[in-house]
């Protein structure tokens, strides 16, 4: 699956999950965990390939599958940088100090290079 025609989110994924089997999907932020779950839930359609359940294509949400959405506390109209600096600016912290704190926190969560992206441009884990 591609986002914005530029980045491949998932490639060559194949899962066989037995009935009543409990699985866990783990991986680093931005690796496609949420995308995979949204595909299985029927909330996204793959750009290539397909998603099936019991041999039938998943074409939308259905009562036989459930998903618990992640809840974000971000301002969707602000970039990563502006989301991080919003509270600092409200407190009257100087621009230089805000920039230092933003850079430190971006580094802590490994989002270097994403400072000017909006929440909609990030994966669920990145948000």
Is 126 a domain residue? no
Is 61 a domain residue? yes
Say whether both 85 and 50 belong to one domain. Answer: no
Please state the three-class secondary structure of the chain as a single string: CEECCCEECCCCCCCCCCCCCCCCCCCCCCCCHHHHHHHHHCCCCCCCCCCEECCEECCCCCCCCCCCCCCCCCCCCCCHHHHHHHHHHHCCCCHHHHHHHHHHHHHHCCCCCCCCCCHHHCCCCCC
Say whether both 3 and 48 belong to one domain. Answer: yes
Is 99 a domain residue? yes
pLDDT at res. 18:
86
Is 24 a domain residue? yes
Say whether both 86 and 65 belong to one domain. Answer: no
pLDDT at res. 81:
96
Question: What's the mean per-residue pLDDT of the chain?
Answer: 86
pLDDT at res. 1:
57
pLDDT band of 6, cuts 50, 70, 90: low
> In this predicted model, what pLDDT tens digit does every residue of 42-87 receive, in sequence order?
988 888 888 998 889 999 988 788 776 666 678 889 999 999 999 8
pLDDT at res. 20:
81
Number of domains in the chain: 2
Q: 21: domain range?
A: 1-69
Say whether both 58 and 94 belong to one domain. Answer: no
Is 117 a domain residue? yes
Say whether both 56 and 85 belong to one domain. Answer: no
Is 19 a domain residue? yes
């Amino acid at each position: 699956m591609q986002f914005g025609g530029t980045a491949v989110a998932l490639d060559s994924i194949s899962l066989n999950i037995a009935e009543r089997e409990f699985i866990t999907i783990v991986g680093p932020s931005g690796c496609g965990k949420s995308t995979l779950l949204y595909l299985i839930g029927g909330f996204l359609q793959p750009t290539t390939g397909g998603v099936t359940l019991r041999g039938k294509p998943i074409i939308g949400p259905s009562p036989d599958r459930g998903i618990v959405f992640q809840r974000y506390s971000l301002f969707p109209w602000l970039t990563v940088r502006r989301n991080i600096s919003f509270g600092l600016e409200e407190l009257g912290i100087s621009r230089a100090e805000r920039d230092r704190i933003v850079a430190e926190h971006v580094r802590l969560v490994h989002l270097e290079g994403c400072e000017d992206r909006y929440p909609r441009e990030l994966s669920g884990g990145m948000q």
